Amino acid sequence: MPILDLLRGGKKYRAFLLLSAPQSRFLTPQLWSSELFSALDAVFKAAGCRPSIHRREVTPMGKERPFGKLSWTHQGIEDWAFRDSGSEWLFIDLQLFCPSRGDLIKSGSFPSVYVQIQPLGTREGGAGQSAYGDALLLLLGEPGQAESAVDAFVTKARQATASPAAYRGELRVRGLNEFESVLRERFMYRGLLEDPFPNPARMRGKWDFLSP
């Protein structure tokens, strides 16, 4: 971990939270092949890093499904951007770390760019249906040249999924392990996605609603 991040208690990120319409999803091969891959790839290139992809699925008993190395290429989209693997598996989320998570573990540092996609169709414990399809969280650590690329990706993602709600704010992440649950614990467990439009005043940090 860089010494400045350690002294400051973690790393501060520019954050975007996008929520798709109930009938739409952020994770389909067609969407990524035609709309989103090139836009997010431009973010990674502007940040000067290459991402690693991590898809998490479990059985009802909690056994995690093993995935081989997933490739951030047009040819590899079909391997990670599909929605369901069948009734035996429960899709948890998709994560992208840039630089790769392996490099981050070796160096003890934080990602420059982090993306997490998680379904919101049914809440944990069967508490009801969400007003949205998926949540997409994008964190940018060093804006610089990547800032305009992120804005372009956010615009394209919102248009492609008819996103009814999107927010921009800041998040501080205190350790690499915290990325595993940042979307779930910061937002879902706090009940912020239960209403048609979350209340930015209830979110940790300062958040602004992005107009359509």
Strand partners, 12: 172
Q: What angle do CA 68, 71, 73 make, to 5 degrees?
A: 155
State both tokens at 54. Answer: 């991590």
Q: Residue range 96-101: average pLDDT?
A: 96
How many Cα atoms are found within 13 Å in the side-chain-facing hemisphere of 63?
A: 6
State both tokens at 136. Answer: 């997409």
Range name among 59-63, 104-108, 135-139, 191-195 with the lowest pLDDT average: 191-195
**Separation of alpha carbons 115 and 16, rounded Å:** 10
C-alpha distances out from residue 37 to 56, 76, 153, Å: 20, 11, 9
| % the chain with pLDDT above 90 | 43
Range name among 72-76, 139-143, 149-153, 186-190 with the lowest pLDDT average: 186-190
Q: Closest Cα partner for 134 from 122, 117, 158? A: 117
| Best mean pLDDT range from 46-50, 77-81, 143-147, 176-180 | 46-50
- Mean pLDDT across the chain: 84
Q: Please answer whether residues 56 and 100 qualify as being in contact, where contact means their C-beta atoms are separated by less than 8 angstroms.
A: no
Q: Is the pLDDT of residue 110 over 70?
A: yes
pTM to 2 decimal places: 0.89
Q: Closest Cα partner for 171 from 134, 128, 141? A: 141
Q: Residue range 104-130: average pLDDT?
A: 77
Q: Is the pLDDT of residue 125 over 50?
A: no
Range name among 21-25, 33-37, 57-61, 197-201 with the lowest pLDDT average: 197-201
pLDDT bin (cut points 50, 70, 90) of residue 83 is low
**Separation of alpha carbons 155 and 65, rounded Å:** 33
pLDDT on residue 8: 55
pLDDT on residue 198: 74
| % the chain with pLDDT above 70 | 85
pLDDT on residue 124: 44
State both tokens at 101. Answer: 């998570």
More confident residue, 169 or 83: 169
Q: Residue range 186-196: average pLDDT?
A: 70
**Separation of alpha carbons 79 and 164, rounded Å:** 28
pLDDT on residue 43: 97
pLDDT on residue 3: 47
